Amino acid sequence: MQLSVLALASFILVAPLLGRANNAVPAPPSVSATGYLLIDTDSDTVLAARDAEQRLEPASLTKIMTAYVVFRELQGGSIKLSDQVLVSEKAWKTPGSRMFIEVNTRVSVEDLLKGMVVQSGNDASVALAEHVAGSEEAFANLMNDHSQRLGMFDTHFVNATGLPDPEHYTTPRDITVVSEAMIREFPEPYRLYSVREFTYNDIRQKNRNELLWRDTNVDGIKTGHTSAAGYCLVASAQRDGMRLISVVMGTDSEKSRARESLALLNYGFRFFETHRLYGADDRLTRARVWMGDREQVALGLERDLFVTIPRRQYDNLEARTEIDPQLQAPLSKGQKVGEVVVELNGEVIKREPLVALENIPEGGIWRTVVDTVLIMLE
């Protein structure tokens, strides 16, 4: 690879923090859970983890995917919030947590979403699944299709609720993937996860996410519990523009899942900081192109580049580009031509594809002849 120094100071974050020091980050807190994960959503940096790839029973964490599928259907226009859903006997009889809908009554999709997200209603989950796909089994197929599309390769769903089944499982890492996707794709519907209580059929129920009361930075996401899965919690919080997601699965009590989640979130916010280094489509550099109708092409990124680093280490960041040698036309906009490499104290912490920001068609015969000779002389 040909190295090219990325020496455009205007692309480096403005107003770096003062008082840099090579302070070591302490070890993450000891977490009493079968598996856990703490991740920054912008940089996708894992800050703490144990057995994050282990397949575990998700219990009602399943409903994160259930909601994601419903949000996708709403966005696509195949269903509406105002749709009146006829409650089936199956939905009405579904065991576990409930919003207390009644068989053969009609309930709006909007209320069913609140009943599923805020009250963790299994009955609401099944009613929504049947409305979207005709049956819960068909809806589970949709859930699995989205899982594969999102890269959740260690996840498989057989229902919309999280009720136990040997073939129903996910991992802490996979559940962060759909959580991040929901927050990114559906910021407005996601606000529903911060609602603390919902009343339906004259029955008021509180959100089971205790952290909504304990930390004002927390705005979601979902609790879960079965005897086999233990007590689980996916929590997300945003502080000073930095969003973290924590996953704890297999704790021994409601208090434990809240305590361990809060410990992870506080650890992340206390000892790390996230920076946006470059924006999507920013022109980072230019490179020579052979055989094209122009001699140079503008290069940049397809998406914003974020890094999460220990606090007070920003001044120790360095970035460079690695560009494929002898780029030849035609080049298409978005085509990968190298990488942007970010280092902290000499260690590579991030690689992002460097892409062409414009189309470069092939040049004429004269350009081809000239460039062929120049390449031979190099």
| b/e per residue 153-185 (b: at least 16 CB within 10 A) | ebbbbbbbbbbeeeebbbbbbbbbbbbbbbbee
Residue with tokens 């004269």: 366
By annotation, the residues acting in catalysis are 60, 63, 120
**CA angle centred on 248, ends 224 and 50, rounded to 5°:** 145
Residue 28 DSSP code: P
Residue with tokens 């490179």: 287
Largest CA-CA distance found in the chain, in angstroms, rounded: 84
Secondary element (H or E) of residue 317: strand 317-323
The Cα 244–Cα 23 span in angstroms is: 22
Provide φ and ψ at 296, rounded to 5°: -135, 155
Query: What angle, 0 to 180 degrees and rounded to 10, lies between the N-to-C axes of helices 136-150 and 172-185?
Result: 90
DSSP calls for 303-354: S-EEEEEETT-GGGEEEEEEE-SSEES-B-TT-EEEEEEEEETTEEEEEEEE
The Cα 8–Cα 278 span in angstroms is: 11
Contact indicator for 21, 134 with CB cutoff of 8 Å: no
Contact indicator for 320, 6 with CB cutoff of 8 Å: yes
The Cα 251–Cα 249 span in angstroms is: 6
- Residues forming a β-bridge with 219: none
Phi-psi region of 63 (alpha: psi -120 to 50; beta: other; left: phi over 0): alpha
**What is the residue type of 225?**
H
